[in-house]
Structure 1
Amino acid sequence: MERPPRLICVAGDFTRYDAHAVREHRRSIDLVRYRYYGSDHVSLEMVVSVTGKSAAANRRTRRHAHMEAPQALQRQTDAMAELAVAADETLRGLGDVITRVQRKQYAAYQRRRNFACVIPPQQTKLLVYLKADPKSVDLTPGFTRDVTGLGHHGTGDLEVQLRTERDLERAQDLFRLSYAAA
């Protein structure tokens, strides 16, 4: 029986990221650390040893995992796509001179400048960042959040999380507030 190849990496030290990457590859990989003791002795220490599957087994596993995607997840994704379309219509309906600029990571809605940025839908929510002052809004956990000083795609310091059509209706006053500020 033929054994699959094994990669052995020998270095002075490894980071935790190296160990994590080895576990994610699903291949047979060993990380071995060496240490010098004086000028005559060297020790080798096994840091991580991962026994992976063969490439054919990996392809089979990936193919079956993809084919068994639950229908509930597909329905959820469709619902988020519909919510994104409804949010787009709502934001464009705020005025006559609104332009939508598609960026790599988000869609920006502009009057004279950006007043809203919509991140593509995730599995359970749609994120909208508004140019409204978070201090002037009653923040609701799970719905609105102050992201001042936090890194995120788009512009604006008020994050609105949309999960349902009802959330979109609740957010319309916030959308108008941001539009007026732009």
Structure 2
Amino acid sequence: MSDVKLFRIDDGSVHELPGEALQVEKSLQVLFEANLEQLLGIRFLATEHSTGSVHSGRIDTLGLDEDDCPVIIEFKRAVNENVINQGLFYLDWLLDHRKEFQWLVMEKLGPNIAKDVDWSAPRLICIAGDFTRYDQHAVKQIARNIELIRYRKFDAGLLMLELVHAPKQSKSIATIVSGGATQIASVTEEAVEDPYLSARIESKIRKADPALLDLFEGVRQFLIGLGDDVQVKELKYYIAFKRLKNFTCVEISPLVRVVTLFLRLDPTTVELEEGFSRDVTKIGHAGTGNLELTLRSMNDFAKAQPLIRRAYEGS
């Protein structure tokens, strides 16, 4: 059971707000679907999506996340419901029906987004009032991109989301030292393989010189070290670091020898510095986040750290 408690502070005294986790009602699913972007950074596509007469099932919610990866959301309506196995069944169905999913994206979000759907790391999110210890153990044994999210409803119209489990890394970047030269190699852990999609970011990493690799690795280690809940997801053009939502996206550019960060921070709350930080709210870019930081040295990285922490804490 969850041990999260919420208190109201009133004139030096604290009063616990009673929380409840009822069986998931349809109204809660409707609430999530109407606010998916605000809650989870996911664009809503469909509800109760039929998998056809052969598979005979209905996916609770289909969406596309901020990295253009497909997302299946399943709501666990009873403690003994095996929502994880059900979700895995739908995830396999999704991978076998990519064209159908992309057609749905085209209808809802337009052809430009549909052509950029990233199949390297499709996600399964299970939402419940609570999970058993068997649920949490099971997902650790399954090499798939599965997230467990527990919710609590409190008085005064408060909704709490708790990330119970998430794969630490969709792809990890490991430093390998061989023959005196430092190289970066990709190690697949808990994602569906698609070598073509990850080739761009991998090739950039491999072309970087040792100094740039040191800077990149320092940034990566710092981001991972912010908390046990940090997830790493390697995509076509960048590497995303997230909690419930992305808080930092990282690019590496070997030709100009910079590491570029996109932070989920309001640029108007930051004193911008030419050549280091800029507002990209109205400038097209890969990755999420409207504050761009350009790192050319460890000194730039040191300046960036307080802003990175702010983005992490706000995510």
TM-score by length of 2: 0.33
Which of 107, 121, 125 lines up with 2:258 in the alignment?
125
Which of 201, 220, 227 lines up with 1:88 in the alignment?
220
- SS of the counterpart of 2:253? coil
Show the counterpart of 1:97.
Answer: 229
Aligned Cα root-mean-square deviation (Å): 1.8
What amino acid is the match of 2:261? V
Q: Which whole-Å deviations, capped at 9, do the CAs of 1:65-106 have from their partners, x for residues lacking one?
A: xxxxxxxxxxx7221111100000111111110010000100
- Larger strand proportion of the pair: 2
Q: What is the distance in 1 between the residues matched to 2:252 and 2:274? A: 21
Pick closer, same or farther for the CA change 1:84–1:121 going to 2, 3 Å. farther
Q: What is the distance in 1 between the residues matched to 2:209 and 2:277? A: 22
Pick closer, same or farther for the CA change 1:155–1:116 going to 2, 3 Å. same
Show the counterpart of 2:145.
Answer: none
Show the counterpart of 1:158.
Answer: 291
Please state if 1:174 is matched with 2:307. yes
Return structure 1 stretches of 4+ with deviation > 3 angstroms: none
- 1:156 Cα deviation (Å)? 0.2
Show the counterpart of 1:148.
Answer: 281
Q: What is the distance in 2 between the residues matched to 1:121 and 1:168? A: 15
Q: What is the distance in 2 between the residues matched to 1:94 and 1:144? A: 21
Higher relative contact order (CA 8 A, sep 6+): 1
Q: Which whole-Å deviations, capped at 9, do the CAs of 1:22-81 have from their partners, x for residues lacking one?
A: xxxxxxxxxxxxxxxxxxxxxxxxxxxxxxxxxxxxxxxxxxxxxxxxxxxxxx722111
Show the counterpart of 2:243.
Answer: 111
Q: Which whole-Å deviations, capped at 9, do the CAs of 1:134-172 have from their partners, x for residues lacking one?
A: 000000001101000111110000000000011111100
- SS of the counterpart of 1:135? helix
Which of 79, 83, 86 lines up with 2:211 in the alignment?
79
- SS of the counterpart of 2:227? coil
- 1:121 Cα deviation (Å)? 3.2
Unaligned runs of 5+ in 1: 1-75
Q: Bigger radius of gyration, 1 or 2? A: 1
Q: What is the distance in 2 between the residues matched to 1:114 and 1:85? A: 19
CA contact (8 A) 1:87 1:168 kept: yes
- SS of the counterpart of 1:100? strand
Which of 256, 259, 270 lines up with 1:137 in the alignment?
270
Unaligned runs of 5+ in 2: 1-207
Q: What is the distance in 2 between the residues matched to 1:102 and 1:124? A: 20
CA contact (8 A) 2:252 2:258 kept: no
What amino acid is the match of 1:100? V
Identity across matched positions, percent = 38
Q: What is the distance in 2 between the residues matched to 1:104 and 1:134? A: 25
- SS of the counterpart of 1:120? strand
